[in-house]
Amino acid sequence: MTDNALLKRDRSLFIGGGWRASTGDERIHVTDPSTGLPLAELGGASAADVAAAVTAAVNAFPAWSRLPGRERARVLRDIADKLMGRREAIIDLLMRNNGKPRREAEIDASDAVATFAYYGDLAEALDKRQDTGVALPDPAHAGKTRYEPLGPVGMIVPWNFPMVTSAWKIAPALAAGCTIVIKTASFTPLAELIYGDIAAEIGLPAGVLNIITGGAAAGAALTADKRLRKLSFTGSNAVGSKVMGAAAQHVVPVSLELGGKSPIVVLGDAAVEDAVDLIMAGIFFNAGQMCSATSRLVIDRKIADKVMARLVEKTEAMKVDSPYADGAEMGPMTTQGQYRAVSKTFERAKADGLKCLTGGHVLQRDGFFVAPTIYDDVPTDNAVWREEIFGPVLAVRRFDTEEEAIALANDTEFGLAATVVGGDAAKAERIAREIEAGHIWVNTPQVPYVQSAWGGFKASGIGRELGPWGMDAFLGVKHITVPATK
Ligand code: NAD
């Protein structure tokens, strides 16, 4: 049973260390996607609320940024512990509000904990990186480098992995010494508001972390605030380019984690069962609502018939159901808008005469359920091959040569992720090196380890999250030259 206190939040803005009610008119209607029924209703931040949150972050910055990294590390580890303590509530909200099957919600909850624990370690290690010597050619001078937090930062996140995308921003920014205003996605704010509960419980200094609810208007107000020293955005390309435009107005750095149309390349010597499992996980996890979804299968003709037969068989055996139903493997689309967008894709594919091997329709039941879908021999100029669908829809093409495989894999404006599957590890890795993508899995499942880099080439974004790069994105490099000591 979902904890009612986590659904009924009359005061949904966490600003300056406490909960406040919105002063605006926007109402956020949160839905249970498994039923299509209302789940909660919250107030969205007004422009005045956004400004108050930024003021709180600005005021909190001097003290927070001056704390030694080891003290910020203690706070990050505390947050990790408190997240662990609320694990069941978080899992339940992700199942209820996102429609994630339990196993997937568990992965998200664990990822958030791991992210805070990891950046705790990096916060501590930051102290040792300060004042590193730089050899200068003039013996009269000595140089050193410091890494300074950029300042109060504005963050905007999407709805597909609420706890994870926000952890990937909040934890490294806190570790770096930045203060934060983060706007949750309007469809899925419930789980992320738990970060506010935790901040209050551990006594995080007021204004270090501010959380606001709201949609496009609140997001636009945040990106327009000149007092922010960086904008960090995860979401669609359409909105990402607006955020970049806003950042350009007052010349602040921007990190963008945007869309994808990632390939999974299956070579002729791949083990059939392994290939099928990796293909399915790459497109059906989170009902395909993943920026990194490997939504284009590029497969060696020699092995294609065998793999496709098994793929269709296993896809049709998948249990698509409410996360609370026994054995559910894939849940609904998280939003009604996404459900409609995927249904439109089905209609368009039908009109275009695409060869549908399985699925291609919504499920006739309450909630936002669609069938896992596979289109074969999709022309490279078709939308199913080119556009990010953000649903469980796979486009397939066969290849005869390695060059053709690489060309097909790179035949996209995006460059976020890729998977290569093959029996000859050296060959698979050689192909991985040729693919234009920021994160590539070779014969391994799509696990974005917090130690690794996350982000895209081409239109998939600017900058990298996770790993040391994730924290460096919130740090500015300062060089100091002093007289050399004799
Ligand atoms: P979206 O761009 O519609 O919304 C993202 C966020 O931007 C939301 O919080 C929204 O309220 C806010 N927003 C909307 N208009 C705004 C404006 N004018 N100014 C400022 N903020 C505004 O994206 P979505 O539908 O929530 O998420 C899906 C997209 O996110 C997909 O394209 C997906 O690939 C991408 N994504 C990327 C990554 C990554 O790591 N690269 C991760 C997850 C999702």
> What pLDDT is attached to residue 374?
99
Closest ligand 1 atom to Cα of 259: 34
Q: Quote the pLDDT of residue 164.
A: 98
pLDDT over 80 at 486, yes or no = no
Query: Is-contact 50 212, C-beta < 8 A?
Result: yes
Mean pLDDT of all residues belonging to the chain: 97
When pLDDT is cut at 50, 70 and 90, the band that residue 6 belongs to is confident
Residue 5 has pLDDT above 90, yes or no: no
Q: CA-CA-CA-CA torsion for 81, 82, 85, 86, nearest 10 degrees?
A: -140
Q: What is the mean pLDDT of residues 132-141?
A: 96
Global confidence as pTM: 0.98
Cα(461)–Cα(436) distance, integer angstroms: 13
Tokens linked to 428: 């698979």
The topology under which CATH files domain 263-449 is Aldehyde Dehydrogenase; Chain A, domain 2 (3.40.309)
Q: Is the pLDDT of residue 97 over 90?
A: yes
Q: Hey, where are the domains in the chain?
A: 4-258+460-480, 263-449
Average pLDDT over every residue of 69-79? 98
Neighbours of 133 (CB within 10 A): 9
User: What pLDDT was estimated at residue 30?
Assistant: 96
Based on the residue annotation, tell me whether 178 is a catalytic residue of this protein: no
pLDDT in tens, 398-422: 999 999 999 999 999 999 999 999 9
Any ligand 1 atom below 6 A from CB of 291: yes
Q: 26, 104, 257, 465: which one is catalytic?
A: 257
pLDDT class for 4, splitting at 50, 70, 90? confident
State the closest ligand 1 atom to the C-alpha of 461, by its place in the atom list counted from 1.
Answer: 41
As a whole number of angstroms, the distance between CA 394 and CA 379 comes to 13
Q: Considering only CA atoms, which residue is closest to atom 16 of ligand 1? A: 216
Report residue 299: phi and psi, to 5°: -130, 140
pLDDT tens per residue, range 281-310? 999 999 999 999 999 999 999 999 999 999
Q: Which CATH architecture has domain 4-258+460-480?
A: 3-Layer(aba) Sandwich (3.40)
257 is annotated as an active-site residue: yes
195-219 pLDDT tens trace: 999 999 999 999 999 999 999 999 9
The CA R_g of the chain, rounded to the nearest whole Å, is: 23
- Whole-angstrom distance, CA of residue 100 vs CA of residue 451: 25
- Pocket lining: 189 vs ligand 1, CB cutoff 6 Å: no
Q: How large a percentage of the chain has pLDDT more than 90?
A: 98
Q: Is the CB of 262 under 6 A from ligand 1?
A: no
Cβ neighbours around 25 below 10 Å, total: 8
The predicted pLDDT at position 238 comes to 98
Confidence of residue 1 (pLDDT cuts 50, 70, 90): low
The residue annotated as part of the active site, out of 178, 291, 388, 465, is: 291
Same fold, 4-258+460-480 and 263-449: no
Position 59 confidence tier, pLDDT thresholds 50, 70, 90: very high
Strands in 355-358's sheet, in edge-to-edge order, are 355-358, 373-376, 393-399, 296-300, 263-266, 417-421, 439-442
2, pLDDT greater than 80: no
| Ligand 1 neighbour 183 (Cβ under 6 A) | yes
456 pLDDT tier (thresholds 50, 70, 90): very high
Q: What is the band of 3 on the pLDDT scale with cuts at 50, 70, 90? A: confident
Q: What's the burial of 356, exposed, middle or buried (CB within 10 Å: 0-12/13-18/19+)?
A: middle
* Backbone phi and psi for residue 212, each to the nearest 5 degrees, phi listed first: -125, 150
Give pLDDT tens digits for 352-410: 999 999 999 999 999 999 999 999 999 999 999 999 999 999 999 999 999 999 999 99
